Structures are given as structure tokens and as C-alpha cells.
Amino acid sequence: MDQLNKMRNSKYKVSIVGASGYTGSELARILIHHPEVEIVSITSESHKGKRFSDLHGQFSGIIDFELVGADDVNVAEVDVVFLALPHGVSMEFVKRWIDEGVKIVDLSGDFRLSSPEVYEDWYKKDHTFPKGFDKAVYGMPELHFESISEASLIANPGCYPTASVLSLAPLFEAGIGNTDGAIIDAKSGTTGAGVKASNTTHFSNVNDNFKAYGIGTHRHTVEIQEQLSFLLKKSVILQFTPHLLPVDRGILATSYISIDTEMDQEKLTALYKDFYKNKPFVRLRNQAPSIKEVRGSNYADVYPYWDKRTGKAIVITAIDNLVKGAAGQAVHNMNIMLGLNESIGLLQVPMQP
Amino acid sequence: MDQLNKMRNSKYKVSIVGASGYTGSELARILIHHPEVEIVSITSESHKGKRFSDLHGQFSGIIDFELVGADDVNVAEVDVVFLALPHGVSMEFVKRWIDEGVKIVDLSGDFRLSSPEVYEDWYKKDHTFPKGFDKAVYGMPELHFESISEASLIANPGCYPTASVLSLAPLFEAGIGNTDGAIIDAKSGTTGAGVKASNTTHFSNVNDNFKAYGIGTHRHTVEIQEQLSFLLKKSVILQFTPHLLPVDRGILATSYISIDTEMDQEKLTALYKDFYKNKPFVRLRNQAPSIKEVRGSNYADVYPYWDKRTGKAIVITAIDNLVKGAAGQAVHNMNIMLGLNESIGLLQVPMQP
Amino acid sequence: MDQLNKMRNSKYKVSIVGASGYTGSELARILIHHPEVEIVSITSESHKGKRFSDLHGQFSGIIDFELVGADDVNVAEVDVVFLALPHGVSMEFVKRWIDEGVKIVDLSGDFRLSSPEVYEDWYKKDHTFPKGFDKAVYGMPELHFESISEASLIANPGCYPTASVLSLAPLFEAGIGNTDGAIIDAKSGTTGAGVKASNTTHFSNVNDNFKAYGIGTHRHTVEIQEQLSFLLKKSVILQFTPHLLPVDRGILATSYISIDTEMDQEKLTALYKDFYKNKPFVRLRNQAPSIKEVRGSNYADVYPYWDKRTGKAIVITAIDNLVKGAAGQAVHNMNIMLGLNESIGLLQVPMQP
Amino acid sequence: MDQLNKMRNSKYKVSIVGASGYTGSELARILIHHPEVEIVSITSESHKGKRFSDLHGQFSGIIDFELVGADDVNVAEVDVVFLALPHGVSMEFVKRWIDEGVKIVDLSGDFRLSSPEVYEDWYKKDHTFPKGFDKAVYGMPELHFESISEASLIANPGCYPTASVLSLAPLFEAGIGNTDGAIIDAKSGTTGAGVKASNTTHFSNVNDNFKAYGIGTHRHTVEIQEQLSFLLKKSVILQFTPHLLPVDRGILATSYISIDTEMDQEKLTALYKDFYKNKPFVRLRNQAPSIKEVRGSNYADVYPYWDKRTGKAIVITAIDNLVKGAAGQAVHNMNIMLGLNESIGLLQVPMQP
């Protein structure tokens, strides 16, 4: 095990299951410097025996230990396990470890929705561990802090839902505006499509290019609808359109909602300020944020704008899809589950330029 | 004068006023191979005496002739003059040449709106040639072919309005949907901001980045509103939000409009097919287009999508902001004014990758 | 067959074998507007029956005809066939068609080297048609115009060799400098790696990134060595190092050669001017060219610089790897083989920005 | 003063002079989490009174304190001052504070060379504080650790020299190879050109583009020559060619040196291993590194390759120009000057992707 880890008298032992993807490497980037934890193993079935730094050259000399198989993880000695796996695979590990006393943060989409039925409807595949839904808590700390602190299984939110829900939560909780007509026009970097080479992420298909995809059908739609319906205490149908940006990281969501009750900029800002009071990772901005202003960090920059001319609120939110939209939020959830200061190990300054 | 030009027995002589910007160099790129015209001069006040290829290295050995001052343009011997100038400057040249018999295509925003009053309201500056509005025809051939063919002054459309109006024109003409609630979420490459270096276009502020700007206030809003109101025969208030993409060229507009009358995909497609019948530069696509699929060309790729779940039509349109959104549309207007085949000299294949 | 083709009374019929790659689509982009030829078929074994524009969306409405299998090409009715195929596959088609009277331009590496032995040594695979080497002419018009004009089989040069050989040819022909110590440090866009998705071309592995590859071993090394040795009339060993740029298109080669005889900038420039006299696609520049100044065009911009301080000539050359480095040079070769004006159909203005 | 700073019982107080540039913001990014220091002030003459986060949005909520003028810095209470200023300006502050007892790390080029004469020759401007050269130590810890530990004024190395000198130092110290014929072909991201908008860094001039600049004349040449001459104990003339990459950060240097004595890969690797033993920020790689593998970190990844075929050593080195090439190396120097563990606060994991 590596030096950096050894030097600490860390209280908590964690394991990362799934080494090859971007969420795996981002978890490692954050956890290796987290003062309260030690990474005791990183697993990969396909790369077992290789060094972690063979897969991710940036870790040369930093995390050089060998990848093990998931079978080699002794969960009895681990406090938290992070599942950085594709959906469909993750549920198998949840089934296997859920009663072993280890806390689980699942970064896949397997337990984010309200029921196996909704899952099967939007993910077009059978769910093999429906019971998991009873224990799973949707890990968005700004909304569910209390439940997270008592959970043993966290369904870590999707990247688009993180940006979208944070954009509209204050309005939906307050029941302000034509919530049912809300539109979320979202734009994401390519890392959201994963580490695996494909036509979608082929450089010449992305570079100097831009397009919409999954129009009307993207599965994050239902995740956003469910969370906002929960806040509104009423079921809503929303429009969500994702686009592919020629950038590595970052999501920018531009949301529109008509408001016909009395509104002005001051009121709108106050509503957001109030909702995000004492939420360390939501930064209310007074101008439209760019994705580079949050890159590499766990911050969500939110800017609500009132357009008097059209009677619409426009909310712009920027996050790093791999951090606030994945690994960072996962560590945030871990901090809460372990009763630590919620922002410990997560205060990296965004990397701009 | 250069070889390429000399070889032809061109019927028409054209002049480009304003050499330093991107619309100037794009006009040259298109016109130098146009079989019916000859570029007789390109002007620049600040670079007078330099060669055009000194400013735009790509033209080395292609257009090496000297830039002249606007005073050196003998408009009596010129058939068409293109004004590739900033707004505010353009109107001065229109005033000077409008009665000289030369046809003028003005690429600035000076005569695009319905009146000097609207101009002054949104452009925040006085208009010094209000009479020009009487002669100016809004040069969007898909909407105003007849008027263009008889015009002596063309107000060449803005880049965002071109993409936005083409997206929604069929629905507005037909008066279908909640036209007043329409939302246009548009994304543009940086060449839309011009050739001049600024913080906005500083590489490290744009690269791997993305942001919204001009939220609720961008002056193209009124241009879009006026054209769509004209089609609807009723005044509308629209929402338009521009964003800055880390790409050189290209605009992608994603538009949303609620429809509560009976609609389905087939009907929607038919409506668009009918509207754009015999329009050589609008390509109706059956999937979402990307901006690279039109790059360097005069095509506008339009994809109307019906979302039954939400009751909304979503229309995606891609153009090259410098071609269909500027220089290409200008040459299209010239072709029509001169009574030529409207697509002559404009059939460049988009450059992908 | 499409409209654009039909309108012409074209003299020559051409076929493109291999539709899916970038060289195939670039050939189509150039040939569709070539005034002396008609594309009679484009083939693809894996996409037979699809429309060409299904593979390459930019051709929607431009080339919509169906892809056929290579067996469907009636070479007896075709004047020139372009092989846009991977090496190893190309040689099979050369074998099949070489005696059918059709002229062949092979864009692969199968016949570029001096012998099957050299091929097998560097390409690490057997050559199944060694006889082809007797007929093949290396298709670099600046060096081999005469042989090309009489050839029936053209080995179209590699992209790196095109930039490298054009950089150093004048010095090697003149036998000036320490030719054996010449170093070529070259940088290429990702389209050189082809259309197929791979880790090498995965967006997040390329974007905002840069690296060297194939150090000391790249197979273009021997192609460069052979061509420059041919000019020098003496065998040389050269250093060639390729790098991967985060751009779509373009190669920039920076070459270094020590010169201990008398030299100055004027002499060096004169040497290059003389060598490239009447070569329409080599533009001698008086400052370092950038790759965008030649993008989308068949130009090679060459800038020789004399560094008195170090006694070295440094030569910078920029080309578009898909045009001058592939499809454009192929059409140039076709023009020469058919006895046409060598630059016909090839005078596209570089697309900047 | 901000919370993060307050929470610590920091021993050392530091001040950053020059807030607006990238080196200023990178210093802040690193120092704000450095466990042994407290940032007591950040200065800017032109932005005095604004908040630091107004200039650099990524610091919103992190460093919101007000910028002060340099006159407001009480150097008597500061342990280390970082000068993040343009050359020519920096020397004035060195003159003013050099005798005040504060340690100075100067990130400009003002004291990097061996004498005022050499400075004036290459920087083409007068040096107004020649005496500073007596005290200045060239702050490359891998070469000058001892002198740095005793210094009061550090001339922090240039970005290109850092990559270049680290590439060749082992060979020059050992006196191996044709050192006088060494060639360094270097490629840098645009942040090396600074925060100020200019044609050079205009997005559309850089994106999807690549070019060489300062051929034969770049002022970093002499800095590299002097450091390598110092190691060789003999004066050398080197070739250095910089190029501009379409990326934000990162330098990759590809260096060539002929070796005619006995050499093989093992020997070459051993030479580098030995030279960089116990140097925490040089990572000897066994394959060519990419710039993203060091992005945002203080690592220099070095890969020496022996090409038996040509008799040349090729060395590839990757650094982040803003960190190892500027702010990170500056903090490294500070750590050494203060007698701290040299790598404290500097172990950020590179951000890939």
C-alpha cells in the first residue's frame, strides 16, 4: 500500500470497486488526499494484477498498487465501499454486500428511481434486486441530508439530475411557477459518456462540433421529474434535452419556468439564498457561471435570473459532472454517513484555466 | 487584379467593403470561385495598402491584391457592394451609396429591424439614416424571395435570427402552438463575436468552457420576434438565450413550443416539408443535426421533433454562422437580386471533419 | 445518380472504393465539384445498400445515392478508380484490376516503398502482390510529374511523408547540409488515425492534450528516407518523430538540418523558390505558416529559415493531411494521369477560421 | 481574511504581488490549501478594491477578500512575497524589498540570466537593478537545492527552460553526446502567453490550429543554454523552437542529441534514474508522457529514449507550464527556503481527463 496512505492514522477504510472508468479515477483523486480515510483496495475484473497507474498515467508514483478482483475485497474490514460500475452490474454488488455491515455508495443508476418498475420502464432492463429500493437513499445532500446520515445504501445522483434539480429545487419546493411546463436545456462534456471509445466520443466527431441527443427520451428525465415532484408534492412532466459539448468535463443547465404571480429579481434571489443557506457546495452567483469556474471541484454554481419582459425565471447552473455530478458528491455522502464534517476533503479550488 | 478573376468573362463586378473581419474573408472565399462575378476591390481603412493575404494568410497566392480605401471604390462601375462593417458604420455607407445605382448588401444590423425607433431601443445608439428603412428588405430568401429580387438594399439577417427564424417559421406561419411562450436556447461558436481579440474570445476563457450570456437582453431577440410576428401576423414576445461554444463556427438552436391541438410526428414533418419545398439551402433532417454537418456551407439543417409525452415541438437547427448566418446568405441575396440561379456559387460541401 | 453529376457532360468516370473513411469522404467532397469527372459509384462492403449520406451526414441532399459492393463496379466503364482502403486490403484490389485498363490511385501504403521486402520489414505483414511494385509510381507531383503522367498505378504518398519530403527536398536534391543528421519533428491532427473509434482518438484522451508516439519506429520514416535518398542519390538514415495534436486536420512538420557551407537567408529562400517554381500547390511563405492557413485545401505552405547562430536550416511545412496529404494529392495525380490542367478542381480556398 | 486561512495556526505569512495573471491565481490555488502558510494579501494596482474572486470567478466563496495596492503590503510582517508580475516591473519590487528581510520569489524573467548584459541582449530593455543578480539564485530545485535553501531572492525558472533543462540535465552533467548540436522542439499551451487578450490568443486563431513562433530568437533559449552550460562546465549553443498548442496548459518538449559513444536504453535510463534520485517531482516514465498526465500538478514526467538506428537520444518531458513551470515551482522554492518538507502542499494529483 502506498506511502501517502500509510502516513496517516486514518480512521476509515474505503474500497473503490471499478477502477477503469472516470468515476473510479476521480474517487481516487479525491480520496487519496482525504484526511479521514484510507483507500485499502481498488478493484477491476478486467485489469486485475495491473497497477492502478498503468490504467491512469496521472497516478504514476502516487497510486501504484495492484488492482484486485472484487472477490478479494474483505468487506468486513472496510467501512465504505464505492461502486463505480455500470448500471446493471452495480445491483449485483449491492445484493451481495448490503447485509455485510459495510456502507455502500452506488454511483450507478440502479437505485436512483422510486421503484423497480420505473427503473425497468426507463432503463429497458430487468432489475435483479428490487429489495434494494427499500434501503436506498437518494444521495443529494442539499435535499436529503438527514436520510443520508442514517443510510447504509446511497444511490448517488446522476450528473444531469444534479445540475437540473439544484437549478429548480427552490421554485418547486415553494410551488412557484408553471412547474409542469418547465424546460431544462442541458449541455455536457464528453466524460459523461464514459471512458470507453465509441463513435459518440471519437475526437473528430466531437471537436469543434455540437449536437443534441436523446431528445425527449433521455433516462435522466425521470430522475429529475421524481426529485422535483417530491419537492412539489405533486407529480410533474418535464422537458429535458441533453447536448454534447466539445469539452472534457462540465455540465451547464439552462432552465426555464413561467411565473405569473408577482416576482422580481430580489425575490427570486432571496428564495434561492434561503433554500441554499448553509449548503457549502452551492455557490449562488450574481452572474451566469461558466463550467470552468467549477472544473475539478465539488461546487455547483447557481444563477437565477428573472426576465420581466417574458415573465420567466431562467436558472443557469454549472457543475463538474465527474465531481459534483459523481465522485465528489459520493464522497460528500460518505462524509455525512460517517458523521464527519460534510465538506472535509472536498474543498479543491476549481481549476481555471 | 488576380489571375482567377481574370480568366473569367464575368458579367458582374462586386466590391467588398471591410476586409479585416470574418464576414469579409468569407465573402472573398465564396466570391472568388463564383462563376458570374468578379471581385474588383476589397477595402479597408486601417489596412489600406497591405495585401488582402497579409491580413488573411489562407489567401496567400490566391488574393494578393492591395486593399484600397472606400473612397477608391468607383461604385458607378460596380454592380453589387457588400458592406462587411460593424453596425453604426454601415449606415454611413448606405447613406452615401444608396442613390448611386449600385445594389447594396449590408451585413450589419443597421437595417434589419422594422424602424429606427426599434433600432435605437435595442442597439442603444442613434440611427443616422432613418430613410434607409424605406428601401431595406430583410434578406432571408426562404421568407422574402420576391422582395429581395426587386430590392436595391438588403439587410442581411443576423446569425442567431437566421437559425431561430428558420426553426420556427413553419409553426408561426401556420399559427400553431403557444407561439408567445416559445423558447429559443441557442449556442454559437466564437466567430460570432468577431475578429477582434477580447476577454470574451481569449482562448483560455473559451476552450474547454461553456457559458450563457446576454440572458434576456440580447439584441437578436427583437429581430427574431419581428420576423416571426410578421409570419404570425400578430406581435409576440419570445425568450432567446445565447450561449458561447468552444468552437470556431456554427450555431445550434434548440427551440421549444407547446402545442395543445392535435399533432403527431408525421404532421409536424409534413408542415416543415411543405414550408421548405424548393428551398435549396434548407435540408430537413430526420435526426438531430450537428454543426459540423453544415460547417463551411450555406445549408441550414432543420430537425422538427414532436414530444408526445410533454406536448411540445422541439426544433433543432444547425447553420454555419459565417456562411448561412452571414456571407453565404449575402451571396444568396446577391444571386436573387441579379436574377441568377439562386444557388450558383454556393454549393460547397460542408467540411466534416 | 445525383443531380449535380447529371448536369455535366463530364468526360471521365471515376469510382471511389471504400466509403466509410475520411479519405473516401474527402475524395467525394472534391470530386463532386470537379468539372471534368463524374462519380459513378462509391463502394462499401460493410455499408452496402445504405446511402453515402447516411454515413457522412454532411452530404445530405448532395450525395444520396446508394453504396454498392466492389463487385458491382464495372471497371471497364470507369476511367479512374480511387482505393480509399486500409493497407493490406488495397493490394488485393490492385491485383484484381491492374490489368483491366482502369487507372488506379491507391491511397494506402501498399505500394509506396521501393520493394516488397522493405514493405514487409516496416509494415510487419506479407505483401500478396509484389508484382505491383513494377508498375507503381510514387504520386508526389512536385517530384515525379513525368512518371505520374504515364502511370497506370499511383501509390499516393503518406500524409507525414508529404509534409516531410516537401520540407527537405530542395536541400537534399542540392546535397546541401548534414543530410544524414536531419531531424523531422512532426505534429498531426487525429484524422490521420482514421475514422474508427479507439482509445487513441477518444475525445478525452486527445482534447487539451498532446503527446509523441511511434518514437523511432513509425513506418512513415522509411517512406521519407527513400524519397529523400532518391533525391540525394545516396542512402540516408533520418530521425522522424510524430506527435498527436488536439485538432481534426493538419500536419505541421518542423525539420532541422545542419549546414556548414556558406549559407544565408537569401540563398536558402532562392533554393526553395527555384525548386518549387511552377508548382501550383506549394506556397513559399515568408513567415511560419499555421495549419489552419491550409485547412481543407491542397496547398502545402513551406517556410525555410536560416539560423545563423546555430548553423541550422529550420523548415516549417503545413498541410491538410486529408487533402494535400491524401485525397487532394490523389485528385492531383488523377489530373496529371488524364492530361488535364493539374490544378483543376483543386483550388479550394483554405477554411480559416 | 477568509475562513480557510483563519482555521489554521499557520507559521508563515505570504503575500502575492500581482493578482490578475495566471501565475497569481495559480499561486492562490496552491497556497490556500498549504498547511504551513497563510495568504495575508494579494495585490493589484489596476484592480485595487475589487475582490480577488471578481477577477477569478473560480474563487467565489473561497477567496473573497479585497485586493490591495503593493504599497499596502507591510513586508516587515510577511515571510515570503511572490512577485507574479511582468518582467521589467518585477525588478522594481526586488529593488524596493530586497533589504527588508522578506524572502522574495520572483516569477518573472528579470533575474534568471547570468548578468544584466545577457538580460539586456535578449530582453531588449535596460535592467534597472543590476545588483539583484548578486543575490538571485536560479530556483530549479533539482539543480540548485542547496543555494535555494540559503537564498533570499529566487529567480523562478521560465516554463520552457524548466521542461528543457530537466530533459537534458543528466546528459549535460555527464558530458555525454554532441551537446552543442542538441535540439529542443517544444510545444506549449496558450496560458504561457498570459492572461491578456491578443491576436495570438484569440480563440479562432488558436483553436484547431498549430504553429511555430519565435524561431531561432525566443528569449528562453539563452536561459536554457546557460543552465545546461553550467552543468556541462562549457558554453554551448542550442537550438530551441517553441510552438503554440491549442490547449490551455502544458508544455511538451521533444529533445534530440546525437551520441556516438556506447549507449543503450538501459544505460540511458540508469543515467536519468541516478540523476533524479530523491527528486520528488520528477517522475521517470517508461513511455512517452502526455501533458494531461501532469495537468494541474507539480510533476515533470521525463522519458528518455535511445534510438539505436539513428544514434540519438530523444527525451520527452511534460510539465504544466503554470505549476511546475511557474507557481508550483515557486512554492517548491518557498518550501526549501523555509526549511519545510520540500513537497508539502504540492502533491495535487494531475487532473485527467
Backbone torsions φ then ψ of D288, nearest 5 degrees = -65, 125
Question: Strands A183-188 and A153-155, how do they pair?
Answer: unpaired
A181 touches chain B (CB under 8 A): yes
Dist. CA A131–CA A119, nearest whole Å: 13
Helix axes C328-337, C22-31, angle to 10 degrees: 50
Which residue on chain A is closest to C57 by alpha carbon? A205
Instruction: Tally C-beta pairs within 8 A across A and D.
Output: 80
> Does the distance separating the beta carbons of B352 and C58 come in below 8 Å?
yes
pLDDT the model gives residue A9: 59
How far is A317 from B344, CA to CA, in rounded Å?
Answer: 45
- Of B56, B61, B290, nearest to C352 by CB-CB distance is B56
Output DSSP code: residue B295: T
**B103 half-sphere exposure, CB direction, 13 A CA radius:** 24
Catalytic residue among A63, A159, A176, A251: A159
Question: Which chains contact D through at least 3 pairs of Cβ atoms less than 8 Å apart?
Answer: A, B, C
Give pLDDT tens digits for C174-215.
999 999 999 999 999 999 999 999 999 999 999 999 999 999
D248 interfacial to chain A (CB closer than 8 Å): yes
In chain D, the largest separation of any two C-alpha atoms, in whole Å, equals 63
Q: Is the pLDDT of residue B3 over 80?
A: no
Answer whether B349 sits within 8 Å of C33, measured CB to CB. Answer: yes
- Give the residue-averaged pLDDT of B61-78: 96
Cross-chain Cβ contact B203/D199 below 8 Å: no
Pick from C58, C207, C290: CB nearest B293: C58
Cα angle vertex B272, ends B267, B274, to 5°? 95
Give me the residues paired with residue B155 across strands: B106, B138
Report the alpha-carbon angle C107-C113-C117, nearest 5.
125
Evaluated on CA atoms A94, A97, A98, A104, the torsion sign reads negative
Q: How confident is the model at residue B10 (pLDDT cuts 50, 70, 90)?
A: low
For residue D102, CA distances in Å to C30, D38, D42, D82 come to 66, 15, 16, 10
Q: Which three cell numbers stand for residue D100?
A: 527588508
In the DSSP assignment, the letter for residue B233 is T
Distance between CA atoms of residues B149 and B336, nearest Å: 5
Chain C residue whose CA is closest to A192: C204
Q: Phi-psi region for residue B278, left (φ > 0), alpha (ψ -120 to 50) or beta?
A: left
* D-chain residues near A299 (CB < 8 A): 61
CA distance C29 to chain B (A): 6
Closest CA to A162 of A181, A190, A143: A143
Confidence of residue D9 (pLDDT cuts 50, 70, 90): low
> Radius of gyration of chain A from Cα atoms?
20
With beta carbons under 8 A apart, name residues in chain B contacting D246: 203, 207
Name the residue of chain D whose CA is nearest to B57's CA.
Answer: D205
Report d(CA D3, CA D63) in Å as an integer. 9
With residues binned 3-state (H G I as helix, E B as strand, rest as coil), the percentages for chain B, rounded to 5, are: 35, 20, 45
The 3 state secondary structure assigned to chain D is CCHHHHCCCCCEEEEEECCCCHHHHHHHHHHCCCCCEEEEEEECCCCCCCEHHHHCHHHCCCCCCECECHHHCCHHHCCEEEECCCCCCHHHHHHHHCCCCCEEEECCCCCCCCCHHHHHHHHCCCCCCCCHHHHEEECCHHHHHHHHHCCCEEECCCHHHHHHHHHHHHHHHHCCCCHHHCEEEEEECHHHHCCCCCHHHEHHHHCCCCEECCCCCCCHHHHHHHHHHHHHCCCCCCEEEEEECCCCCCEEEEEEEECCCCCCHHHHHHHHHHHCCCCCCEEECCCCCCHHHCCCCCCEEEEEEEECCCCEEEEEEEECCCHHHHHHHHHHHHHHHCCCCCCCCCCCCCCCC
Q: Is D248 on the interface with B (CB under 8 A)?
A: yes
Of A246, A250, A258, the CB nearest to B181: A258
CA distance A95 to A317: 35
Beta bridge partners of B42: B16
Q: Would the CB atoms of B309 and A256 count as touching at under 8 Å?
A: no
DSSP conformation class of C324: I
Can you tell me whether residue A254 is helix, strand or coil?
strand
Residue in C198, C199, C248 nearest the CB of A208:
C248
C258/D210 Cβ within 8 A: no
Q: Rounded mean pLDDT of B155-173?
A: 98
User: Do residue A197 and residue C199 have CB atoms under 8 angstroms apart?
Assistant: yes
> Under a CB-based contact definition with an 8 Å cutoff, are residues B154 and B333 in contact?
yes
Closest to D105 in 3D by CA, of D191, D27, D195, D20: D27
> What residues of C are in contact with residue D292 (Cβ under 8 Å)?
205, 208-209
Average pLDDT of chain B to the nearest whole number: 96
Q: What does the alpha-carbon distance between residue A20 and residue A55 come to, in Å, rounded to a whole number?
A: 7
Residue D52's pLDDT band (cuts 50, 70, 90): very high
Domains in chain B, CATH or no CATH each: 3-157+325-337 (3.40.50.720), 160-321 (3.30.360.10)
Query: What is the spatial order of strands in the sheet that D300-307 belongs to?
Result: D211-212, D239-244, D183-188, D251-258, D312-319, D300-307, D282-284
Given D208, D283, D353, which is nearest A248 (Cβ)?
D353
Please give the Cα distance from B213 to C195 (Å, whole number). Answer: 35
Q: Which set of grid coordinates corresponds to residue C227?
A: 524519397
Which residues of D form the catalytic set?
A: 159
Residue of D nearest to B203 (CA): D203
Task: Give how far Cα A335 sits from Cα of A149, A321, C182, Å.
Answer: 9, 19, 59
Q: Environment class of residue C126 by beta-carbon count within 10 Å: exposed (0-12), middle (13-18) or buried (19+)? A: exposed
Contact C206 A208 (CB under 8 A): no
Residue A103's φ and ψ, nearest 5 degrees, are -80, 140
Report, as residue numbers or ranges, the catalytic residues of C.
159
Residue B346 and residue B332: Cα distance in Å, rounded?
A: 7
Put simply, whether B3 touches D (Cβ < 8 Å) is: no
Enumerate the residues of chain B whose CB falls inside 8 A of the CB of residue A351. none
Query: Which of B20, B58, B204, B245 has the most D C-beta neighbours within 10 Å, making it the best mutation to test the interface with D?
Result: B204
* Distance (Å, whole) CA D95 – CA D87: 13
Walk along chain C (353 residues) in steps of 10 and give the mean pLDDT of each run.
50 96 98 97 97 98 97 96 97 98 98 97 96 98 98 98 98 96 98 96 98 97 98 98 98 97 97 98 98 98 98 98 98 98 98 97
* Cα dihedral D71/D77/D80/D81 (nearest 10): -10
Tell whether the torsion through CA atoms of B196, B201, B202 and B207 is positive or negative: negative
Q: What is the pLDDT of residues D62-101, one digit of tens each?
A: 999 999 999 999 999 999 999 999 999 999 999 999 999 9
Please determine, for residue B248, whether its predicted confidence score (pLDDT) is greater than 90.
Answer: yes
Q: Do C201 and A206 touch (CB under 8 A)?
A: no
- Which residues, in sequence order, are bridge partners of residue C242? C186
pLDDT of res. A1? 40
Would you give per-residue pLDDT tens digits along chain A (353 residues)? 444 444 455 689 999 999 999 999 999 999 999 999 999 999 999 999 999 999 999 999 999 999 999 999 999 999 999 999 999 999 999 999 999 999 999 999 999 999 999 999 999 999 999 999 999 999 999 999 999 999 999 999 999 999 999 999 999 999 999 999 999 999 999 999 999 999 999 999 999 999 999 999 999 999 999 999 999 999 999 999 999 999 999 999 999 999 999 999 999 999 999 999 999 999 999 999 999 999 999 999 999 999 999 999 999 999 999 999 999 999 999 999 999 999 999 999 999 99
D216: left (phi over 0), alpha (psi -120 to 50) or beta: left
